[in-house]
Amino acid sequence: MTTAHRSRTGGTLTARSFLKPHQVARAVFHPAWIPPALDPSVEQLKRIRVIAGAVAALGVYTYVEGGFAFEEILDNAATASAVLFFLTPLTIGVMLYVWRRGGTVRQLKVPLFNSLKLLLFFIGSVFTTVMLFRLGDAFGFVAKLLLTLAGFWMALFVMAGAIRLTGNFFGTAAVHRSLPPLLATVTAWLMAVPDLVTGELHGLSLTMGVLFILGAPVTVTAIAFLETRRLKQRYGIRLTAHPATLPPLPTPMPPTAPPHIPRQGHPHGHPYAPGAGQPYPQGNPYPAGGGNPYGPTPPYHPPYHPPRRHPYGG
C-alpha cells in the first residue's frame, strides 16, 4: 500500500500536507509518472497556455458583467467536468485512429489507463465540492459549518488541481508529448463555440462579446501551435506519429552543483619560495661567526700514498 502511494505521488505527502490543499493537489494531480518538461522554453509556453486556459475557464465576460459568483463558478466547473469526461476520451480516440499504422493501443495501455484515472478523480473531486456546498443548506448550523469548511478545502484543492491539469492535461504527456496542447486547444474552442452559435454574449456588446469569447481560444491555439512546432523541430515529436515510432528523447538532467576544482599549485605555497616556508635562509647555511656547532669546516686534503716499487727492482 505504501509503495503504491509513493508511486502515484512521489512520496511527497505527509500528514501536515493536508493542511495545505495546494500541496495535496500538486502531489495528486501531477504524480511522479508524468514525464518532466524537455526544454525550459517549452515549459515557458506551457505556463502561458495555463494562464490563457484559466481565462477561458473562468470567462472574463463574467467579471465584466457583474463580478464573480461563486455558485455560478461551481456550476460552470461541473458543466466543464462533464464536457471533459466525453471530450478527452473522444479526442484521444481520434488520435489513436490516426496512429493505428505506427503501432498498437496495447503499447499505450499503461499511460492511457493512468490518464483516465486522473480524469475520473478530478471529475469526482469537482462534483464532491459542489455536493458539499449543496448539502450544507439541508442540515443544522454545526453540520452546515463543517460541510462548508470541507467544501472550501475541496474548492481550493480543485482550483489548484485545475491549474496543474491544464499544464499536463491529465497526464496525457506520458502518452504523447503533443497531446496536452491539442486537448487544451479543443477544450478552449468547445467552450467558446456554443456562445458564438447561440449568440449569447452575456449582456456585452457585439464587439466586446466576440473579443472576450474568442480571445482565450485564439490565444490558447496560438501558444499550442508554437509548443507543438517547437517539439517537432527540436525533438522530432510529430503529433500524427505513434509514440512508439518517435525518436528517443533526451533525459532531463537534474540541476547539479559545479564540480570542485582545487586551487592550482602547492596548498601552502611553494615550499622553498623566498620568505614563505623555506627551511633554511638564503646563502651559507652556516654563516661566519656561528651557526655550525662544530666550528669552521677545515679544508679537505687527500691522504698521501707513496709510489709503489717493483719487488725485483728495476
Grid cell at residue 94 = 481520434
User: Tens digit of pLDDT for each residue in 56-92?
Assistant: 555 554 555 555 566 666 777 777 788 888 889 999 9
Beta bridge partners of residue 215, listed in sequence order = none
* Confidence (pLDDT) at 2: 41
More confident residue, 237 or 200: 237
Using CA atoms, how far apart are residues 36 and 8, in angstroms rounded to an integer? 15
Highest mean pLDDT among 7-11, 124-128, 263-267: 124-128
* Confidence (pLDDT) at 14: 72
More confident residue, 100 or 283: 100
Using CA atoms, how far apart are residues 181 and 49, in angstroms rounded to an integer? 8
- The gap from C-alpha 221 to its chain's centroid, in whole angstroms, comes to 22
More confident residue, 220 or 203: 220
Confidence of residue 93 (pLDDT cuts 50, 70, 90): very high
* Confidence (pLDDT) at 144: 83
More confident residue, 2 or 143: 143
Is the pLDDT assigned to residue 250 strictly greater than 70? no
* Confidence (pLDDT) at 7: 46
More confident residue, 149 or 295: 149
Grid cell at residue 244 = 512508439
Give percent above pLDDT 90 in the chain: 18
197-215 burial, b for 16+ CB within 10 Å, e for fewer? Answer: eeeebeebeeeebeebbbb
* Confidence (pLDDT) at 5: 42
Using CA atoms, how far apart are residues 38 and 233, in angstroms rounded to an integer? 13
* Confidence (pLDDT) at 9: 53
φ, ψ at 276 (rounded to 5°): -135, 85
More confident residue, 270 or 35: 35
Average pLDDT of the chain to the nearest whole number: 75
* Confidence (pLDDT) at 4: 42
Indicate the pTM of the whole model: 0.69
Confidence of residue 6 (pLDDT cuts 50, 70, 90): very low
Q: Pick the range with the lowest mean pLDDT from 14-28, 71-85, 249-263, 273-287.
A: 273-287
